[in-house]
Amino acid sequence: MLKITPFLILTVCFGLGSCKKKVETNAKAEAFCMNETLWKVTHLDTAHSSPMVSQIKLTGKVSFDENKLVKVYPFASGIVNEVKVERGDFVQKGQVLAIIRSSEIVDFENDLSAAIANLSSAKKTKETNEDMYEGGLLSQRELIQSENDYKIAQAEYERAKEVLEIYGSTNVKFLYTVKSPITGFVIERNISQNTQFRDDSDDDLFTIADIQQVWVMANVYETDVDKVKLGYAADIKLAAYPGKVFTGKIDKVFHVMDADSKVQNVRIVIENPDFLLRPEMQASIIVKHPDLKKEIAIADDAVIFDKSRYYVLMYGGNCNISIREVEILDFIDSKVYIKNGLSDGDIILRGFVNPIYSGLNY
């Protein structure tokens, strides 16, 4: 939609070469014809009946995808020897977050040492028994027993080894590492150097969030509950990125009204590969939904706004252009839905239409 300016009036005067003083408006309109210059910036459009897409404006904020939020707890009681990350750091899966000094880790190290010794002894016994069996000095039953003992010792060794790997044992006695279970951002760090903690505490050490996909939680007031449904498309705008629109779909409707705010929440899922959307950012949301009712629609650059009214230019031929007032239902995306003034199939001008309108009114 375009607005009238003095510059545009001058433009049409020079472009048409027909602005003369003391000429009647009707005579001017009759004399007006489209020329090659105007056709370069103006096009024809046809008014057509189209299902109306309604929209509702909501407020909300960006939130974490709770399915991709992980809290990290200690495996054993101890004292923080070193913290490797800060709040807001990006970490890879398996990256060391902290090193913990703990006497409890020694028990697991001793278990592994005992398992290694037992495995070595069981292996030697099995090999000896195999030789004795070949020489006829050992029964088959005793051979099978030694083979089973070896398998048990091997399984115990693997278990003890895996336990230490889970605990992140280091080569230094009494120390183990806390590692990130996923790739993401450190959103909480609840420890510092020399912090003491117990493994049965409810407090986590870190919280890691993967924000390659985020949620936008939108607030829906009671009067709009029936206008927002699962699967509806949504456009999200943030103050941090003027002019940029993020798109998503409603994937969850929470059918509960908040007692304090009197709103119902809906959840919109948005892909966030560049990490532009950050939790707690305030969002403006436009939810679009189809309407069974059809209305006359035209392109938004065909509408002229002048003196608090809307107009279009009717096309009946190069020298048959007329002005018609229209009543607007709504502006949605690049379409304008017309309440009154146009019929299905009407041909109008669109594009740089203000100079023509100004010339017809001059």
Give the lowest-confidence range in 41-45, 54-58, 184-188.
Answer: 54-58
CATH number of 71-209: 2.40.50.100
Reduce the DSSP state of residue 326 to 3 states and report it.
Answer: strand
pLDDT recorded at residue 9: 44
pLDDT recorded at residue 281: 95
**Angle 274-85-79 from CA coordinates, rounded to 5°:** 150
pLDDT recorded at residue 18: 44
Residue 301 identity: D
pLDDT recorded at residue 172: 62
Percent of the chain with pLDDT over 70: 88
Reduce the DSSP state of residue 12 to 3 states and report it.
Answer: helix
pLDDT recorded at residue 292: 65
What is the average pLDDT across 190-205?
A: 88
What is the average pLDDT across 160-179?
A: 73
pLDDT recorded at residue 204: 92
Residue 68 identity: K
Residue 268 has pLDDT above 90, yes or no: yes
Written as one string, the DSSP assignment of 238-297 is: ETTSTT--EEEEEEEEEEEE-TTT-EEEEEEEEE-TT--S-TT-EEEEEEEEEEEEEEEE
* Mean residue pLDDT across the chain: 85
Residue 176 has pLDDT above 90, yes or no: no
CA 116 – CA 112 distance, rounded (Å): 6
pLDDT recorded at residue 1: 56
Residue 23: partners with Cβ closer than 8 Å, 6 or more residues away = none
CATH number of 56-67+210-291: 2.40.30.170
What is the average pLDDT across 268-291?
A: 90
What is the average pLDDT across 262-272?
A: 94
- pLDDT tens figures, 218-247: 999 998 898 899 999 999 999 999 989 999
CA 196 – CA 2 distance, rounded (Å): 67
Q: Domain coordinates of the chain in residue numbers?
A: 2-52+293-361, 56-67+210-291, 71-209
pLDDT band at 166 (very low <50, low <70, confident <90, very high): low
- pLDDT tens figures, 30-39: 567 888 888 9
What is the average pLDDT across 180-186?
A: 95
**Angle (deg, nearest 10), helices 104-134 and 140-167:** 160
Helix locations, 74-203, DSSP H:
104-134, 140-167
pLDDT recorded at residue 330: 86
pLDDT recorded at residue 193: 92
What is the average pLDDT across 109-116?
A: 81
Judge contact between 230 and 253, C-beta under 8 A: yes
Query: Of the spans 16-20, 57-61, 116-120, 176-180, which averages the highest pLDDT?
Result: 57-61
What is the average pLDDT across 67-94?
A: 92
- pLDDT tens figures, 118-138: 899 999 998 988 888 888 888
Question: Which CATH fold topology does 2-52+293-361 show?
Answer: 2.40.420
Residue 15 has pLDDT above 50, yes or no: no
What is the average pLDDT across 269-293?
A: 89
pLDDT recorded at residue 17: 44
pLDDT recorded at residue 14: 40
Structure tokens at 258: 């908040």
Per the listing, tokens 């959307």 go with 277
